Chains A and B, each alone.
Chain A
Amino acid sequence: MKSGRFWAWVVFILGAAYFFIPLIATVEFSMRMRRGAYSFDAYQIVLGDARFQATFMYSVVAAIFTIILGVLVVVPAAYWIRLRLPQIRPVVEFITLLPLVIPAIVIVFGYIRMYGSNSPLPFLANDTATNALLVIGYATLSLPYMYRAVDTGLRTIDVRTLTEAAQILGAGWSTIITRVILPNVLIAVLSGAFLTFAIVIGEFTMASLLNRPAFGPYLQNIGANRAYEPAALAIIAFAITWGCMSLIQILSRFAPKSANRPN
């Protein structure tokens, strides 16, 4: 037993070192901008940069729209599949996995060919339409995470019986989704939303090829031309992602408890 515990600790320490050493090294490097002393100069420069603020805000807004679009598409779809079309669930699961298999560059080239200014749906003809196309692209990229999160949430409740109970009490579909189903899968939806947020904030390929002023291309641009600022940016991006994950953990404590499985 003691030997087993020893090796468990060895594996844990190795794993933690693999994770933390590069992180500590990046933090340490990001603070060496001022010669001979540690400072937050790189962070000040990055956070004070108007392009940082503009691109970060752009990506935050894009992430919010992506989350709204994802929720509007995925929640009713996953709900309907669980309620009425369980037989097509494997097909839908396969489709939602495709964005993990097909590189973003392939998707975005497809968009450019399909929605160029000469196409019947000229998404690339003006900035607003291109922004919309970027959000649609991001919703596609986040589909595997959003669908799985929502589907897992739906699995924890008896969708059919709750739906029927609400129906027999006079509720229509919109009431059922907004007052019965969504509140019971809200934490799952939020998990999907934060994963979507993390993906959108760092996404480079789509934003770059659609020529959008997003945070991902800005990160790449800084990384290619500066020394200390990219390290500071990496830490900031890491903190944002880590913050999202922590929020998922905190919010999951407030999930409605199932009557049959109190804990």
Chain B
Amino acid sequence: MAEPFLSIQHVQKSFGAATVVQDFNLDVEPGEFVSFLGPSGCGKTTVLRMVAGFEEPSAGKIVVAGKDITRLKPNQRNVGMVFQAYALFPNLTVAQNIAFGLKVAGMPKADADRRVAEMLDIIKLPQMGDRYPYQLSGGQQQRIALARAIAPKPKLLLLDEPLSALDAKVRVSLREEIRSIQKKLGITTIFVTHDQEEALSISDRIAVMYGGKAEQVGTPFEIYNRPATKFVANFVGTLNVLEGTVTDAGAGKVRVNSQEVALKGKLNGSKSGDTLSLALRPEAISLGRQPGHDTSLSGEIAEVHFLGSVIRVRVGIGGNTVSLDTFNNSATPPPAVGEKADISFSSGDMLVLH
């Protein structure tokens, strides 16, 4: 296996008695786009700030391109960073902002001017060089911040919730633009976000963080479809969690509200009588028995929400409630609350949460 470009090894960070990052490990391949996803206070920004050099790890080390940068100052790391609050220098024009890092590095003016023009073309704002930051919209300012960060050709690009301050429409277009620029330049990138849709849509891999630890690192597909922990399953996407009791661990059989469900594979580490949490994505469940679905459960319609193209139905199964979405069909009226109903799914879609 090739050497990782960025290697975060057993990194820990404490502020006084509080440990905010515990034994964090991650290897990032060259040109990879990795997102740190998690709720506020999970330590994702702290890890990013340690990579940038703004915080010093209490333990562990950070290696970039084979060089240990753990104790290097931020200005010695050759890392680019985009901040949530844009952080453009208000006294400088757009072109001067982009040229700042080039000037600090001692690049000749003619070369710097060429690079600034190139950057303005990349972010599709070629006419904006003479403007001041206050004359730009939030989205434009963040694109300038991105251009400023990549202008000195950093080894690594760090994006600290760069889309959080923008409105929904701009967020979507800018995230696509960030991803396309990142692919074009092939720059290894770490992206911090608390927005799962953002992370799922643009990342090569996602590190889902909780309580200062990486709960799971994987591709968006793996994270969504094969969550490793209960937290990941709950945090990423909408999830139905059913409580069940193991009836035959060897055969993978579980009882949910006195109805038996056969899971794919054995329940290693469990024994009969143990309680388990089972998870199902809403899109894996159908109302009524459907071909291709090998498992069904009976329950009662608890809630029906008509959302236009989609109808969200909540079905009570004993003490559990399962949410599922069905497409609106003008020929079929939505089910009524209190009606008896079966739900069906493929047992392979049911996840056991640890």
Task: Tell whether B227 is near chain A: CB-to-CB under 8 Å.
Answer: no
Task: Tell whether B88 is near chain A: CB-to-CB under 8 Å.
Answer: yes
Against B, the Cβ 8 Å flags (1 = close, 0 = not) of A240-257 are 000000000000000011
Task: Tell whether A102 is near chain B: CB-to-CB under 8 Å.
Answer: no
Q: How many A-B residue pairs have CB under 8 A?
A: 83
Asked if A259 contacts B101 (CB within 8 A), the reply is: no
B87 contacts which chain A residues (CB < 8 A)?
158, 161-162, 164-165
Task: Tell whether B152 is near chain A: CB-to-CB under 8 Å.
Answer: yes
Task: Tell whether A166 is near chain B: CB-to-CB under 8 Å.
Answer: yes
Asked if A162 contacts B89 (CB within 8 A), the reply is: yes
Task: Tell whether A183 is near chain B: CB-to-CB under 8 Å.
Answer: yes
Task: Tell whether B100 is near chain A: CB-to-CB under 8 Å.
Answer: yes
**B261 shortest CB reach to chain A, Å:** 52
A183 contacts which chain B residues (CB < 8 A)?
91
A258-B104 contact given A165-B81, A165-B89, CB 8 Å threshold: no
Residues of chain A at interface, number, CB under 8 A = 25
Asked if A258 contacts B152 (CB within 8 A), the reply is: no
Interface members, chain B 49-74 (any A CB < 8 Å):
52-54, 73-74
A261 contacts which chain B residues (CB < 8 A)?
134
Asked if A184 contacts B75 (CB within 8 A), the reply is: no
Stretch of A20-28, A113-121, A169-177, A227-235 at the chain-chain interface: A169-177
Asked if B91 contacts A256 (CB within 8 A), the reply is: yes
**A55 shortest CB reach to chain B, Å:** 38
Q: Which of B74, B86, B90 interacts with A168 by CB under 8 Å? A: B74
Asked if B85 contacts A170 (CB within 8 A), the reply is: no
**B277 shortest CB reach to chain A, Å:** 41
Task: Tell whether B80 is near chain A: CB-to-CB under 8 Å.
Answer: yes
Task: Tell whether A199 is near chain B: CB-to-CB under 8 Å.
Answer: no
**Complex CA distance for A125 and B286, rounded to whole angstroms:** 96
**A42 shortest CB reach to chain B, Å:** 46
Asked if B75 contacts A259 (CB within 8 A), the reply is: no
User: In chain B, what residue has the closest Cβ to A157?
Assistant: B90
Task: Tell whether A97 is near chain B: CB-to-CB under 8 Å.
Answer: no
Task: Tell whether A39 is near chain B: CB-to-CB under 8 Å.
Answer: no
Q: Which of A162, A164, A179 interacts with B54 by CB under 8 Å? A: A164
**Complex CA distance for A213 and B200, rounded to whole angstroms:** 75
B91 contacts which chain A residues (CB < 8 A)?
180, 183-184, 256
A179 contacts which chain B residues (CB < 8 A)?
100
**A252 shortest CB reach to chain B, Å:** 14
Asked if A257 contacts B90 (CB within 8 A), the reply is: yes
Asked if B101 contacts A170 (CB within 8 A), the reply is: yes
**A210 shortest CB reach to chain B, Å:** 39
User: In chain B, what residue has the closest Cβ to A257?
Assistant: B134
Against B, the Cβ 8 Å flags (1 = close, 0 = not) of A25-60 are 000000000000000000000000000000000000
- Identify the interface centre among B79, B81, B89, B104: most chain A CB within 10 Å of its CB: B89
Task: Tell whether B105 is near chain A: CB-to-CB under 8 Å.
Answer: yes
- Identify the interface centre among A161, A167, A168, A256: most chain B CB within 10 Å of its CB: A168
A175 contacts which chain B residues (CB < 8 A)?
104
Interface members, chain A 128-186 (any B CB < 8 Å):
157-158, 161-162, 164-172, 175, 179-180, 183-184
Asked if B83 contacts A165 (CB within 8 A), the reply is: yes
Asked if A170 contacts B152 (CB within 8 A), the reply is: yes
Task: Tell whether A262 is near chain B: CB-to-CB under 8 Å.
Answer: yes
A259-B104 contact given A164-B54, A167-B74, CB 8 Å threshold: no
A166 contacts which chain B residues (CB < 8 A)?
89, 100
A259-B88 contact given A167-B75, A175-B104, CB 8 Å threshold: yes
A260 contacts which chain B residues (CB < 8 A)?
134
User: In chain A, what residue has the closest Cβ to B144?
Assistant: A259
A164-B134 contact given A169-B100, A180-B89, CB 8 Å threshold: no
B5 contacts which chain A residues (CB < 8 A)?
none
Asked if B89 contacts A168 (CB within 8 A), the reply is: no
User: In chain B, what residue has the closest Cβ to A262?
Assistant: B134
B158 contacts which chain A residues (CB < 8 A)?
168
B141 contacts which chain A residues (CB < 8 A)?
259
Interface members, chain B 95-123 (any A CB < 8 Å):
100-101, 104-105
User: In chain B, what residue has the closest Cβ to A158?
Assistant: B85
Asked if A169 contacts B152 (CB within 8 A), the reply is: yes
**A181 shortest CB reach to chain B, Å:** 10
Asked if A168 contacts B52 (CB within 8 A), the reply is: yes
Task: Tell whether B281 is near chain A: CB-to-CB under 8 Å.
Answer: no
Asked if A257 contacts B132 (CB within 8 A), the reply is: yes
Task: Tell whether B148 is near chain A: CB-to-CB under 8 Å.
Answer: yes
B104 contacts which chain A residues (CB < 8 A)?
169-171, 175
Q: Which of B53, B80, B89 interacts with A184 by CB under 8 Å? A: B89
Asked if A259 contacts B52 (CB within 8 A), the reply is: no
Task: Tell whether B133 is near chain A: CB-to-CB under 8 Å.
Answer: yes
B152 contacts which chain A residues (CB < 8 A)?
169-170
User: In chain A, what residue has the closest Cβ to B86?
Assistant: A259
Task: Tell whether B172 is near chain A: CB-to-CB under 8 Å.
Answer: no
**A245 shortest CB reach to chain B, Å:** 24
Asked if A259 contacts B90 (CB within 8 A), the reply is: yes
**A259 shortest CB reach to chain B, Å:** 4
**Complex CA distance for A35 and B132, rounded to whole angstroms:** 61
**B49 shortest CB reach to chain A, Å:** 9
Asked if A259 contacts B81 (CB within 8 A), the reply is: no
B149 contacts which chain A residues (CB < 8 A)?
168-169
- 7 nearest A-B residue pairs (beta carbon): A169-B101, A165-B87, A256-B91, A259-B133, A183-B91, A167-B74, A170-B104
User: 7 more A-B contacts (CB under 8 A) besides A168-B75, A170-B105, A262-B134?
Assistant: A158-B87, A161-B83, A161-B87, A168-B80, A169-B149, A175-B104, A256-B90
